[in-house]
Structure 1
């Protein structure tokens, strides 16, 4: 008699998934799709978009099954992955909406945006506004790192801080800017 997947634990299913077992993958999908869809729908308020995100999530799960590191449980991994996908989608939509509003405003004023430098300037102003809203010490550390291109060690010496404190300030600043500006802008501008 074959394996009964419905009664197999998540841990066993993960092992089977990593070895390419499609039935284990199907069981994981069937076990979690509804609860994940409900969670995604609460955020997206669009059933089709929620299903798209779930399908993306499970496609990645299958495609990267051999290399994915599960630091927590299967359910923990799925929830965190779903949350990240929702965050990325919401950030992208928010940025696109702001850009469309801005574009519409220029069109209504009779200006035609043909020069990408205008958009770059708007983007720069948006970024500068968010950087200036950072807490004072964090902003100072961040600007020395990104604008003056100083190393963590040089910043630590200049501001009489530990390198670990400098690193934490930069990490926190990037986290804040990432949430404020959206993942697309963040990846475009701040990744080395």
Structure 2
């Protein structure tokens, strides 16, 4: 049996190019712990390190015949691990940014939807109470709040005195306050 432990890196590389699985295993055994420690210093996650090392040796085996090294094998392996680490960090950052963006969108979307739903419910409650006001009072109140007309404009439009318009609005607010309380205050700040 051939003692692959005695071979140099260059000899193992030549055997690897000829698809010698035992040479590949010797390279793996010779460098896996060193590369693992090197990668762990940067990534601090066992699974991430395992993935980087596994990817390196998978590529080494699949590209063995076309492999041309201008430097030594250990230098090639360390540079490959460094590149794998950088890819992993970049992927993690992109994933984190994407996840944060998605969470932010989901939070805002849910918040906006929830706010609109509550606003619509509140408007419906208030509109229902406004509809129960006496007809002239309701008409004056809606012209004031919905059409944003001044007391003078309402008085001219309905052929009433400004005092009557003020009185209708005061009475409408008093009735609505007694029925709706706090909700009425929120409604006028929303509109």
**TM-score interval, normalised by the smaller of the two chains:** 0.5 to 0.7
Q: Which has the larger helix fraction? A: 2
Q: Structure 1-normalised TM-score?
A: 0.55
Query: Cα deviation per residue 1:90-120 (whole Å; 9 max; x = unaligned)?
Result: 10110110111111111111179xxxxxxxx
Q: Residue 25 of structure 1 corresponds to which residue in structure 2? A: 24
Q: Residue 49 of structure 2 corresponds to which residue in structure 1? A: 50
Q: Residue 63 of structure 1 corresponds to which residue in structure 2? A: 62
What are the equivalent positions in structure 2 for 1:155-170 lying under 5 Å apart? none
What are the equivalent positions in structure 2 for 1:12-161 lying under 5 Å apart? 12-110=11-109
Distance in 2 (alpha carbons) for counterparts of 1:82 and 1:15: 21
RMSD: 1.5
What SS is found at the alignment partner of 2:36? helix
Where structure 1 has 5 or more consecutive residues not aligned to the other structure, the ranges are 113-192
Q: Structure 2-normalised TM-score?
A: 0.56
Distance in 2 (alpha carbons) for counterparts of 1:111 and 1:82: 42
Query: Cα deviation per residue 1:36-67 (whole Å; 9 max; x = unaligned)?
Result: 00011111111122112111110110110001
Q: Which has the larger radius of gyration?
A: 2
Distance in 2 (alpha carbons) for counterparts of 1:48 and 1:102: 25
Deviating runs (4+, > 2 A) in structure 1? none
Distance in 1 (alpha carbons) for counterparts of 2:48 and 2:95: 16
What SS is found at the alignment partner of 1:109? helix
What SS is found at the alignment partner of 1:66? helix
Distance in 2 (alpha carbons) for counterparts of 1:48 and 1:7: 32
Instruction: Give 1:3 deviation, angstroms.
Output: 2.6
Where structure 2 has 5 or more consecutive residues not aligned to the other structure, the ranges are 112-191
Query: Cα deviation per residue 1:127-146 (whole Å; 9 max; x = unaligned)?
Result: xxxxxxxxxxxxxxxxxxxx
